[in-house]
Amino acid sequence: MIEAIGLTKRYGAKTAVHNLSFQVRPGHVTGFLGPNGSGKSTTMRMILGLDRPTSGHVSVGGHPFRALPNAPRQVGALLDAKAVHGGRSARNHLLSLAQLSGIPATRVDEVLGVVGLQDVARKRSKGFSLGMGQRLGIAAALLGDPRVLLFDEPVNGLDPEGILWVRNLMKQLANEGRTVFVSSHLMSEMAVTADHLIVIGRGQLLADMSVKDFISANSADFARARTPDGDPGQREKLAAVLTEAGGQVLTEPGGALRITELTLPRISDLAYDAGVRLWELSPHQASLEEAYMRMTQSAVDYRSTADELAGFEPPHAGYGAGSQGYVTPVVPEVPQQGWYAPPPPGQNPYAAAAPRAAQGAPGAPAQAPAPPPAHAPAPATAPAPATGPTKSDTDEDAR
């Protein structure tokens, strides 16, 4: 059990973590998500007593970390895969850690086998790849058979086999009743690994809920309705009817309608009453990735504008003036990344245009790849669908 109460960390004027309170319970894999620089690692370091919180406190098993009796036997952590002395062999590195808490040397060979490093155990860790470093770090975390495990980006640099192994390891550790706290920015990874999510953005808590709740709370499930092709009149008619009934309607690239706030039977009834034929009416659930992007988008946006104005504006102007070809590839990306995609970092014009780009997105892909470079800097002008979306646009913003 890890418990943080009002955790705050400031570095000078910059607040890395602000008033963060959460609990990490045993028996679950808890995913710790946030964009880069959102304070994940700082929080992890504070849990481990490496960094001192500016205010608030965090405890592991009811004790502040520094007051834990025999900490290595209770908490295992992988913070930084490369946090080893490169001149020391993997085995000696683990041995020095094992000796701290009276763990026998045989356990060192055991965990080396668990992480698959037995063949390079006596090689200097200097020559290790990032993936091997991660394995060594995981071995160090497992060494003391601890009840609480922290992993900071454990799958970074691992091969697919390694990722699968880490995923199963996390689940297994949680099933054994341990507290497993895993930070990541890989949403797709957390979707299949974690049971519970803690999401932070700019050092503040955005969500603390189960994966399932997280998706349904943050992504409006939507229905997709398709009217017969080659008859836009039917589609517009349906859109008008649904909007009138309180639904929010967006036009998708393929010409289908994306409807929220109305149940499937209700959509069907309304279509029937309006005399519109439906070729498709299907329920959809947004992925965890979408939910996450959507939630952290504002945080990411804010960071881009605040942090990078000074450093990035001159080079950006240079690119814009110098070669339009540089700008071009960005355009198709906006719709490709999907509905809720945040703007690419450092692109100030997009930071402003992003909300509109997101609205335009459903309509955009049909057209976006086509425009010549000259059209590029204005994705917001991508043709907006005629009637329905205008209303739903504002709703998008509100969310």
Partner 1 sequence: MASVPAVLQSEWTKIRTVSSTTWTLISALVVTVALGAALSALLNSQFGDLGAAQQATFDPTYTSFSGMVLGQLAMVVFGVLVVGSEYSSGMIRTSLAAVPQRATFLFGKILVAGVLALAVGLLTGFLSFFLGQALLGDHGTGIGEPNVLRAVIGSGLYMALIAVFSMGVAAMLRSSMLALGILMPFFFLVSGILSAVPGAKDVAHYFPDQAGSRIMQVVPDALNSSDRPYGPWGGLGIMALWVVAALVGGYLVMRKRDA
Residues in contact with partner 1 by CB under 8 A are 45, 48-52, 65-72, 75, 77, 79-80, 82-89, 92, 95-97, 99-102, 140
- Which residue type does 295 have? M
Own/partner pairs for 343-350, CB < 8 Å, 24+ apart?
Answer: 343/300, 343/301, 343/304, 345/300, 345/303, 345/304, 345/308, 346/304, 346/308, 346/312, 346/316, 347/304, 347/316, 348/304, 348/305, 348/308, 348/309, 348/312, 348/313, 348/316, 349/377, 350/379
CB nearer to partner 1: give 16 or 270. 16
**Least CB distance to partner 1 at residue 100 (A):** 5
Distances from the Cα of 287 to the Cαs of 160, 185, 199, 248, 322, in angstroms?
21, 15, 16, 19, 39
CB nearer to partner 1: give 125 or 227. 125
Question: d(Cα 322, Cα 357) in Å, to the nearest integer?
Answer: 25
**Least CB distance to partner 1 at residue 52 (A):** 6
**Least CB distance to partner 1 at residue 98 (A):** 8
Question: d(Cα 137, Cα 399) in Å, to the nearest integer?
Answer: 40
**Least CB distance to partner 1 at residue 29 (A):** 20
CB nearer to partner 1: give 147 or 226. 147
CB nearer to partner 1: give 92 or 260. 92
- Which residue type does 139 have? A
Q: Which among 91, 122, 127 has a CA at the least distance from the CA of 109?
A: 91
Residue pair 218/285 in contact by the 8 Å Cβ criterion? no
**Least CB distance to partner 1 at residue 389 (A):** 49
**Least CB distance to partner 1 at residue 36 (A):** 19
Question: d(Cα 76, Cα 149) in Å, to the nearest integer?
Answer: 5
**Least CB distance to partner 1 at residue 99 (A):** 4
CB nearer to partner 1: give 73 or 391. 73
CB nearer to partner 1: give 102 or 383. 102
* Residue whose tokens read 């960005």: 330
Catalogue the E-assigned strands of 73-132: 75-78
CB nearer to partner 1: give 88 or 171. 88
- Residue 185: enclosing H or E segment and its boundaries? none
